[in-house]
Structure 1
Amino acid sequence: MIVVELVFTDDPRRLAARPAHRARLTELRAAGVLVLAGPWADDSGALLLFDCDEPALAEILAADPYYRTPGVSIRVRREYSPLWTLTS
């Protein structure tokens, strides 16, 4: 699994790009690639957890322009090894 943490600014282009991004996240969730995603309570950023390897994540990030939208930056991108999950 890989954790991606995003940081947001007040740039309005971020909000304009968000609906298409969320539609893509819904597709990834249905495909079993996205485990969880959502913004911090203060909307300063978001946390996403992907169940894939690094090459697949690179493709996911490249295919979604949201990650390159002004007002959005990737702060953390690192492997995560849970001890257990709700399904295990």
Structure 2
Amino acid sequence: MARFVVEWVFGTNRDERLAVRPAHREWAAEQAKQGVLLAGGPWANDTGAQVVFEAADRAELAKILATDPYADANVIAETRIREWNVVAGSWIAG
């Protein structure tokens, strides 16, 4: 499995995004329950969010992201995805 950092930039349609947010959060909770969503949350200024997912590859991640109610509502202006090699604090143990 690979880990991916996903950064979402929210669009200007804030009211529409807030209307969909409860469904998005239910979706996120289900992804976390399944072990797919590892961490995440919105930026303090509410212009976007950063989320960490675990998936087999980018194709699987794309399928997961497509099921997000935010995707259906078209409230994300940009999605940036980077595969992440987690070091998990090994520098602390050294």
- Please give the range of the TM-score, normalised by the shorter of the 2 chains: 0.7 to 0.9
**Equivalent residue for 2:62, pick from 35, 58, 63:** 58
- Answering whether residue 35 of structure 2 is matched by residue 32 of structure 1, we say yes
In structure 2, stretches of 5+ residues that fail to align are 90-94
Q: Highest CA radius of gyration, 1 or 2?
A: 2
TM norm structure 2:
0.79
**Identity percentage of aligned residues:** 42
Q: Distance in 2 between matches of 1:48 and 1:59?
A: 15
SS in 2 for 1:51: strand
- Answering whether residue 79 of structure 2 is matched by residue 75 of structure 1, we say yes
| 1:4–1:74 CA contact under 8 A, matched in 2 | no
TM norm structure 1:
0.84
Runs of 4+ residues over 4 Å off in structure 1: none
SS in 2 for 1:41: coil
Q: Give 2:70's aligned amino acid.
A: Y
CA RMSD of aligned residues (A): 1.6
